[in-house]
Chains A and B, each alone.
Chain A
Amino acid sequence: MTHSPQHLLEVRGLTKAYGAMKATNDLSFHVDRGEVLGIGGPNGAGKTTLFDLLSGVTPPTAGRILFEGADITGLGASAICHLGISRTFQLNAVFNSQTVADNLKTCAYFGSEKRLVPGLSYDRRSEIRAAEVLDLTGLTDYADVMAGALPVLQLKLLMIGCAIVSHPKLLLLDEPVGGLNPAEIETCAAVFRQLRDFHGTTIVVIEHVMSFMTAFADRIMILHHGAKLHEGAAGSLADNPEVVDVFLGVSGAADSRKGAQAEEVGNATS
């Protein structure tokens, strides 16, 4: 443990092939501690596949994934969760038949460490963490509601809550604000900023809402056909003609400039 790696996450030559189709194609990148990396790209670019590989949901065909310097390639989803990488899903992925509070307790209890022989009741630490996340996400009023009966914003917040209640070092957010209106996006963004600024959580976020992403991310990587099309500071996105051509379009480029400017203004005033 004397080795202190510079990058929190390092991906080398990662490939996932389904037959002849390469959903992820020889992809290499890294994520540093405390930064926010945004991932964009057109539909089918391999963004979610990349998350599936990083979170152990599917094993890669080739390449290596290093987390805190250790090789985690091929580990299962639960083992990777215990190491401190937590992800959210694009579709509604909560435990519908449990209440909001029980969802959080379950995720806190099983997510934060490997439970060799679980007890017959939740430990105090899991209950405290669940209460903290209820507070952080503003779900306290919904604590006893069945997750399956939640409105869409609260459902998204619960999905995020379940991912962060285990105190991950690296949080992978898959389209966390897709389908939300601007006010609801701001509610979620406030939670993410809190995580980044006060909990020091490193975040990788996939999102199509470019104004949100350019405002939130430090760096942005654009994928196309499973490979890297662009990587750079959030403001640089609209300057790459290829990115505008393949992904953003002209109006999208304007959106992304707006987001980046809003972030600069925000930083200047704070």
Chain B
Amino acid sequence: MRSMKSRDLLILLLFVGVLSLLPALGLSRYVLGQITLFILWAAVVSQWNLVFGVAGILSIGHMALFAVGGYATALMGLYFGMSLWWTLPVAALAGLLMSLVMAFATFRLRGAYVVVVTLAIAMTVYQLLVTDVACFRQTQSVCYSFSGGARGLSRFGDFGFRELLGYSSAPLGNFYLSLIMLALSILVAIMVVYSPYGQAFKAMRDNEVCAASRGIEIRKYQAIVFAVSGVFTGLSGGVYAGVIGTFGPQVLELPTLLFLLSMMVVGGRGTIWGPVVGTIVLALIDEGFRDLAAWRNTAYAAVLSIILLTLPEGLMGGFASLRKWALSPRKEG
């Protein structure tokens, strides 16, 4: 187990190293922006995977944790004019609180019921946002609601890369900040999965009654996995808000949910690298169908279906089976 952990830490180092060299290729502003976006999605999916894949708690309301983090940053930037750097701890805290709501709501539920309740929580947050139309602030002739409603929020500040690096290099700042967020997210996932915590999460997933009888306090570890995931998902939400510059209820809509869920399932849930592999695959599809926007969602659905039918454990699961097959001793024939 120790060697596996060292292996994954080494892969992380190489992976981040390679990614950090990407801007040297002279990528266009658009491509760099897309890569930055997908790096943040990978950070979110890695954290979601801790709850969904590693602990086997089928929470699909995970984007609510991301949303509260993003809104925490956007609202504080907007109303208090705070530097967005200072809002990040609050975004993490917001994610933590929301994750504890999720944890308590699902303590007594299993399987499909968890899916329903977590989705309901995320949809409640969504509805609260889009129905927020009461006039909160007036600029010239336009009236804005407190949370920005269905339009979302914008012009709440940024991380100051424009002042620091100049207008043309500001995207680089956003890119590297996102990369740090992804590295942090994967590092946390590795530390958790190979620790007694991760073993307890997997034990709960494999056989809950047996895990309890072996001394694992189920609720406590359910709460812990939600909390860890909530902190770093909330933080990702805050970084996303600052990097993209706008934040709206669209992150809670079904297409976003299915897109991120596909990343996890295609890559391989419950594995360290599955979310990253899945994000790369979905990013390529996304780019491939850029000019065929009408077919984009169909393409996601097709890939998701093909993967579920042929490799139920995702690409990483398929890779593991392939390696096992290749390494297993075969009879001379």
A residues neighboring B (CB under 8 Å): 55-57, 76-78, 81-82, 86-87, 89, 93-99, 101-102, 105-107, 109-115, 118-122, 162, 166
Contacts and interface: CB of A to CB of B under 8 A. Distances in A.
A98 B214 contact: no
B216 interface: yes
A28 B1 CA distance: 46
Interface string B168-198: 0000000000000000000000010001110
A82 B199 contact: no
Interface string B201-213: 0110111011111
Contact of A112 (B200, B213, B215, B218): B215
Interface in B209-253: 209-218
Contacts of A87: 213
Given A97-B202, A97-B206, A110-B203, 9 more contacts: A77-B212, A78-B214, A86-B213, A95-B206, A95-B210, A105-B199, A106-B199, A115-B215, A118-B196
A115 B214 contact: no
| Across the A-B interface, the 3 shortest Cβ-Cβ residue pairs | A77-B212, A111-B215, A93-B210
B200 A97 contact: no
30 contacts: A55-B213, A56-B212, A56-B213, A57-B209, A57-B213, A77-B212, A78-B213, A78-B214, A78-B215, A78-B218, A81-B212, A81-B213, A95-B203, A95-B210, A95-B211, A97-B206, A97-B270, A101-B1, A102-B199, A106-B203, A106-B214, A106-B216, A109-B196, A110-B196, A111-B214, A114-B215, A114-B217, A118-B197, A118-B200, A166-B215
Contact of A94 (B191, B195, B207): B207
Contacts of A109: 196, 199
Given A57-B209, A118-B197, A110 B202 contact: no
Interface string B1-44: 10000000000000000000000000000000000000000000
Contacts of B215: 78, 81-82, 107, 110-115, 166
A132 B196 CA distance: 19
Interface range on chain B (Cβ under 8 Å from partner):
20 to 34
A118 B214 contact: no
A78 B216 contact: yes
A94 B210 CA distance: 7
Contacts of B216: 78, 106, 110
A106 B1 CA distance: 12
B205 A76 contact: no
Contacts of A99: 1
Contacts of B213: 55-57, 77-78, 81, 86-87, 89
B323 to A, nearest CB: 13
Given A78-B215, A114-B215, A106 B196 contact: yes
B199 A166 contact: no
Nearest to A89: B210
Contacts of B200: 106, 110, 118
A243 to B, nearest CB: 30
Contacts of A97: 202, 205-206, 270
B23 to A, nearest CB: 34
Nearest to B212: A77
A100 to B, nearest CB: 12
B202 to A, nearest CB: 6
